[in-house]
Chains A and B, each alone.
Chain A
Amino acid sequence: MKPAAFEYHAPTTLAEAVGLLARLEDEGCDAKILAGGQSLMPMLAMRVARPDALVDLGRVPGLAGIRLHDGHIAIGAMASKRAAELSELVRDKQPLFHAATRLVGHQQIRNRGSVGGSFAHADPASEYPAVALVLDMEMVATGPDGERVIPAAEFFVTYMTTALEPGEILTELRMPVLPARAGWAIREVSRRSGDLALAGVALTLRLDAGRCTDVRIAAFGVGATAIRLTAAEDALNGAAPSADRFARAGAIAAASLAEPMSCIHATADYRRHLVRTLLERSLADAAARAG
């Protein structure tokens, strides 16, 4: 289990990194970006990824900030998950994102793994893409033509595939601050604690005069990418929160899943049922949190 040979580049500015990627692409060289390596390294070791070159973003300054900007939280793509976990800003202003971060792997993984790496990697079982859909996050990509902003709904294309063009670097993630008195929840089932989820649900909602509003729900671990559960959202918006209603929403969500994934640990039916259960339970969590 040793990686195949590759060229290694460690650009020290963003411009250099962008230029390098463009040049390598022109030369027909299959280059991959290296962030924390927590997903890429096992793939290299198993030789399921065999890039000709790696472009390490680890020495590019300015990509790891976490700040409040124009009313939203901006997290540099190279910020570590541990930094996001320890950020008071994230914890206080966007507790859903914070809770999702704490569910990722173990501390050793969060120390090294970047936030952006998870978005770029787009593992369907990752917590982040679902949270991105729920929060309507925006991804900032930087390429030869400069910056562009990609909404979450367009960013995750399919299994481990994003809207990033070859040569584009994900540089920043933007998310709104959680509105006052909004409720949120994230739950997942994994085989062992810290494993990637077999299924999970993330959501936010508000309670307005005893009715659910602004319900946004996404599931992860069940499809080729995270899935918005709009039918369940519709069933909840405007309804009074109740155990019955939450159960119904769970059932609607489960029914709305076209063809959940199947693997040795979970069949499609089981995953469907997990979404139903997790949604029901998460709605109760979120309603309890909503002020």
Chain B
Amino acid sequence: MAIDIPTRTDQLPTSATRFIGKAVNRIEDPALVSGTVEFIDNLSLPGMLHCAILRSPHPHARITGIDVSAALALPGVEAVLTGEDVERWCDPCFTAPEGWGNYCLAVGKVRFVGEPVVAVAATSRYIAEDALELVQVEYDLLDPVCNPDEAMAPGAPLVFENRATNVIQSRTYTWGEVDRVFAEADRIVSRQFRWNRVGANPTETFGCICQWDLADNSLTCRGAYQTPRFMGIGRAASLRLPANKVKIISHAQGGGFGGKGGPRGTDIAALLSRKTDGRPVKYIEDRMEYLLAGGGQSWDRYYDAAIALKADGTVTGFKVRLVDDQGAGAEGYGTISAAKPLAAFTGNYRIEAAFYDLTLVATNRAPTYPYRGYGPPPHNLVLESLMDVAARELALDPAELRRRNYIGPEQFPYTVPSGNEYDSGNYAGVLDRVLELADYKSLRQSQAKARTEGRLVGIGVVSTVEPGVFDWNAYATVGVPGVGVPEGVKVGIDVFGGVTVAVGFNLQGQGQFTVAAQVVADYLGVEMNTVKVTTASTDVALPHFGQGGSRLGVAVTGAILGACEKLRGIFCRVVAHVMQTDPEQIELLNGRLQMKGAPAHGMSIAEVAGLMLSRSDLLPPGVEPCPEASFVWVSPNRNLPDDQGRCRSYLTAAAATHVVQVEIDRDTGQVAILGYYIVDDCGTRLNPASVEGQLQGGVAQGVGAALYEEYVYDAQCQPLVSTFVDYLVPSIHEVPMTVKDHLVTPSPIAPLGAKGCGEGAIHTTPAALLCAINDALAPLGLECRETPASPRRLWQLLHDKA
């Protein structure tokens, strides 16, 4: 029987929602503020050993000898793992596209600085690190390829010698009549941009405890796992185990935002456990390891892009050539980052034709991984910067140019040239609201006045679409197979009426446990504090994915609604049987199963559950004594892409417009953010406080990417950023306190009308800041086209001019 998932809150079996849509306190918070949540490093198991990893100091070298004898002789050291073991026991990790993966520990050669070479298990981390100092590794240095130009030069050294090239993928996409619209354009605006590498840097690094059961030949991994099932499948493949022999127990995580060094760290700890007769081995990635080689470095990009316009400012075409430095292979799925922009290639605009020329290149930098937004933030920066250049050339206000090109509210569902279908939106409404909120006119007036004083004040008005609720089909073009990302939950009611929701993921910060409790409490008419949300390990969990792709809040809502609908069906049958009537005569309302038209006759949810569990004699035939239901939600109506990558991929399209005013200090190059205003529209706001939190957190990361953060490599491919002294995560002083408002244009197709919004402002903030900076520089005829727009860069620009 098909289950209909409510897309509106008024379809819920309650006269008024009590929790959904309210800024309720999060159920995860009391334990978090008390310091009692079991992050992985808080856990110790009996007999546990500690792992430390020796990493390559060279970007590219052949390993000619490893001597671990002194390390093994150190008291407290129980095992040492080298490439020899790994080659015997493992396969390189799988990648998309296939065949660009490394082993968890270098076999034969190293491909980037920080690549694991030797690992030690010892009775303490201190001793394990002592042992690393006793390991001797001999290297034969190879020439590195440090950037795409070098990597694509004829005769360049090969990062993967079994491939004849360093180009992982090179292809074009043509959507619509691009050549014609560019030929017929009244104006073409083109620019090049350089987006330097940034990264996730959650406050907690990766950690795990792995235990190999030698009798059963199975593996149990506890750790900071964001996508447990996916991780389990990957480990099974690389460790040559059947997938059902790998059990992942996900612990709460201190942030994720994409990657931590999970896959390699897990494999290494697992193999050390195997080498020590099954003792549990803990590996805690430290911050320097994270910065050198942990997952999360992202978006190392060279753009060359153009838009075509009509004289009235109508944008008709958008061309992007992207060369993306993936680093040493595709182990981190950085490739997906370049494919994801297809989901919203042309942003908020009615652009009829587009073209994407994409080249993914392997170099001897660290491999790239996902980072919040997973690709579109730089893409949006390119499109929005071009819009601003066009506005300047046409002497149009940038807000006005955008307005002229927006997809109209009546045009939804709207299929963008790159194939995805936007569900709903009101972009002009968002713009109007934010211009009002910011008092845009007076911002422009204060800018004009500042300019007469010689001050460099600029304003950015930037609109973006956030594709929400990802689907695998979005990444098919880089080799990810499949349609449909499942998210499964089980909702059960115990004999006393307590509700338990079992999910496949654990806490990471976005508040999905609270969303789960809100939805289930409103549906079943119970109090939120009677709801327990718990994480199932992968051996028993339903198919699931977990956090990622601005998806989980919506997906878990859908899954819970599905499970609740099933429960309602069962309960109606039970109650009907007891009342000797038809199930159709029974309805669920405000937590009671009652007779339609005679609400006094009925039972509470708790009573029904109690009855089911204790009076099997009263159950109708065919109903099990089980007041539980599970449901695996998947985005409805997704399809396979065509040869140009076009498909319905991301389910929802949230939108936002940011207005920011900045001032550049001419002499120091520092950027001060004078005011920051946001209006967003992500449909139904399940928990407005959580939505705002996601937004503001995205602003902080956007500020980091636009102004502060950068993984710098020197000309020999040595990373120059390996500590938080140099990787500049913004502090409370650097992040603006934003003024926010929102519109609500519900999704007509997503559960309760909510749109994915977890990635939030990182889509918009970097573009908004760069546009504001360039607006400030405009009177000087200067443009900054590289991120981060650090003081040194801006000063250089200003100085070269002077």
> Which residues of A are interface residues toward B (Cβ below 8 A)?
1-5, 42, 46-47, 189, 191-196, 198, 264-267, 269-270, 273-274, 276-277
Query: Is the CB–CB distance between A270 and B730 below 8 Å?
Result: no
The 4 closest A-B pairs by CB, nearest first: A193-B733, A277-B667, A1-B286, A2-B126
Query: Is the CB–CB distance between A273 and B795 below 8 Å?
Result: yes
- Identify B792's interface contact among A3, A4, A42, A267, CB under 8 A: A267
Q: Is B278 in contact with chain A by the CB < 8 A criterion?
A: no
Query: Is the CB–CB distance between A189 and B799 below 8 Å?
Result: no
- Chain A residues near B721 (CB, 8 Å)? 264
Q: B669, B791, B792, B796 — which one has the most chain A CB atoms within 10 A of its CB?
A: B792
Q: Is B129 in contact with chain A by the CB < 8 A criterion?
A: yes
- Chain B residues near A194 (CB, 8 Å)? 731, 733
Query: Is the CB–CB distance between A264 and B731 below 8 Å?
Result: no
Q: Is B668 in contact with chain A by the CB < 8 A criterion?
A: yes
Q: Shortest CB–CB separation between residue A67 and chain B, in angstroms? A: 34
Q: Could you list 27 A-B pairs, sorted by A, with CB under 8 Å?
A: A1-B287, A3-B126, A4-B129, A4-B130, A4-B133, A5-B130, A46-B288, A47-B129, A189-B668, A191-B708, A191-B790, A191-B791, A192-B708, A192-B730, A193-B733, A195-B728, A264-B710, A264-B712, A264-B720, A264-B721, A265-B726, A266-B791, A267-B796, A270-B791, A270-B796, A273-B667, A277-B667
Determine the distance from Cα of A191 to Cα of B133 in the docked complex, in whole angstroms. 34
Q: Is B734 in contact with chain A by the CB < 8 A criterion?
A: yes
Query: Is the CB–CB distance between A189 and B733 below 8 Å?
Result: no
Q: Shortest CB–CB separation between residue A52 and chain B, in angstroms? A: 14
Determine the distance from Cα of A4 to Cα of B790 in the docked complex, in whole angstroms. 36
Q: In chain B, residues 675-733, which have Cβ atoms closer than 8 Å to a Cβ of chain A?
A: 708, 710, 712, 720-721, 723, 725-726, 728, 730-731, 733
> Which residues of B are interface residues toward A (Cβ below 8 A)?
125-126, 129-130, 133, 286-288, 667-670, 708, 710, 712, 720-721, 723, 725-726, 728, 730-731, 733-734, 790-792, 795-796, 799
Query: Is the CB–CB distance between B799 and A264 below 8 Å?
Result: no
- Chain A residues near B130 (CB, 8 Å)? 4-5
- Write the chain B residue with the least CB distance to A2: B126
Determine the distance from Cα of A114 to Cα of B796 in the docked complex, in whole angstroms. 37
Add 15 more A-B contacts to A191-B728, A265-B792, A267-B796 (CB < 8 A): A4-B133, A5-B130, A189-B670, A189-B791, A192-B708, A192-B734, A193-B731, A194-B733, A198-B791, A264-B712, A264-B720, A264-B726, A269-B799, A270-B799, A273-B795
Determine the distance from Cα of A175 to Cα of B734 in the docked complex, in whole angstroms. 35
- Write the chain A residue with the least CB distance to B721: A264
Q: Shortest CB–CB separation between residue B325 and chain A, in angstroms? A: 18
Known contacts: A4-B130, A46-B288, A270-B669. The answer to whether A192 contacts B796 by CB under 8 A is no
Q: Shortest CB–CB separation between residue A212 and chain B, in angstroms? A: 22
Q: Chain A contact residues: over half helix, strand or loop, or mixed?
A: loop
Determine the distance from Cα of A276 to Cα of B666 in the docked complex, in whole angstroms. 13
- Chain A residues near B791 (CB, 8 Å)? 189, 191, 198, 266, 270
- Chain B residues near A198 (CB, 8 Å)? 791
Determine the distance from Cα of A194 to Cα of B257 in the docked complex, in whole angstroms. 26
- Identify A277's interface contact among B133, B668, B733, CB under 8 A: B668
- Chain B residues near A42 (CB, 8 Å)? 723
Determine the distance from Cα of A1 to Cα of B129 in the docked complex, in whole angstroms. 8
Determine the distance from Cα of A129 to Cα of B287 in the docked complex, in whole angstroms. 30
Q: Shortest CB–CB separation between residue B68 and chain A, in angstroms? A: 19
Determine the distance from Cα of A221 to Cα of B545 in the docked complex, in whole angstroms. 49
- Chain B residues near A274 (CB, 8 Å)? 667-668
- Write the chain B residue with the least CB distance to A1: B286
Q: Shortest CB–CB separation between residue B577 and chain A, in angstroms? A: 64
Determine the distance from Cα of A194 to Cα of B732 in the docked complex, in whole angstroms. 11
- Chain A residues near B668 (CB, 8 Å)? 189, 274, 277
Q: Shortest CB–CB separation between residue B506 and chain A, in angstroms? A: 26
Determine the distance from Cα of A189 to Cα of B668 in the docked complex, in whole angstroms. 8
- Chain A residues near B792 (CB, 8 Å)? 265-267, 270
- Chain A residues near B286 (CB, 8 Å)? 1
- Chain A residues near B795 (CB, 8 Å)? 270, 273
- Chain B residues near A273 (CB, 8 Å)? 667, 795, 799
Determine the distance from Cα of A273 to Cα of B667 in the docked complex, in whole angstroms. 7
- Chain A residues near B129 (CB, 8 Å)? 1-2, 4, 47
Q: Shortest CB–CB separation between residue B695 and chain A, in angstroms? A: 22
- Write the chain B residue with the least CB distance to A271: B792
Determine the distance from Cα of A196 to Cα of B726 in the docked complex, in whole angstroms. 11
- Chain A residues near B726 (CB, 8 Å)? 264-265
Query: Is the CB–CB distance between B734 and A1 below 8 Å?
Result: no
- Chain A residues near B790 (CB, 8 Å)? 191, 265
- Chain B residues near A195 (CB, 8 Å)? 725, 728
- Write the chain A residue with the least CB distance to B132: A47
Determine the distance from Cα of A60 to Cα of B734 in the docked complex, in whole angstroms. 40
Q: Shortest CB–CB separation between residue B194 and chain A, in angstroms? A: 16
- Write the chain B residue with the least CB distance to A267: B792
Determine the distance from Cα of A2 to Cα of B128 in the docked complex, in whole angstroms. 10
- Chain B residues near A265 (CB, 8 Å)? 726, 790, 792
Determine the distance from Cα of A274 to Cα of B668 in the docked complex, in whole angstroms. 6
Determine the distance from Cα of A135 to Cα of B607 in the docked complex, in whole angstroms. 81
Q: Shortest CB–CB separation between residue A217 and chain B, in angstroms? A: 18
Q: Shortest CB–CB separation between residue A50 and chain B, in angstroms? A: 9
Query: Is the CB–CB distance between A192 and B728 below 8 Å?
Result: yes
- Chain A residues near B733 (CB, 8 Å)? 192-194
Q: Shortest CB–CB separation between residue B103 and chain A, in angstroms? A: 25
Q: Shortest CB–CB separation between residue B729 and chain A, in angstroms? A: 8
Q: Shortest CB–CB separation between residue A254 and chain B, in angstroms? A: 11
- Write the chain B residue with the least CB distance to A191: B728
Query: Is the CB–CB distance between A193 and B734 below 8 Å?
Result: yes
Determine the distance from Cα of A265 to Cα of B734 in the docked complex, in whole angstroms. 16
Determine the distance from Cα of A47 to Cα of B125 in the docked complex, in whole angstroms. 14
Query: Is the CB–CB distance between B796 and A2 below 8 Å?
Result: no
Q: Shortest CB–CB separation between residue B406 and chain A, in angstroms? A: 37
Determine the distance from Cα of A270 to Cα of B133 in the docked complex, in whole angstroms. 39
Determine the distance from Cα of A42 to Cα of B726 in the docked complex, in whole angstroms. 14
- Chain B residues near A269 (CB, 8 Å)? 796, 799
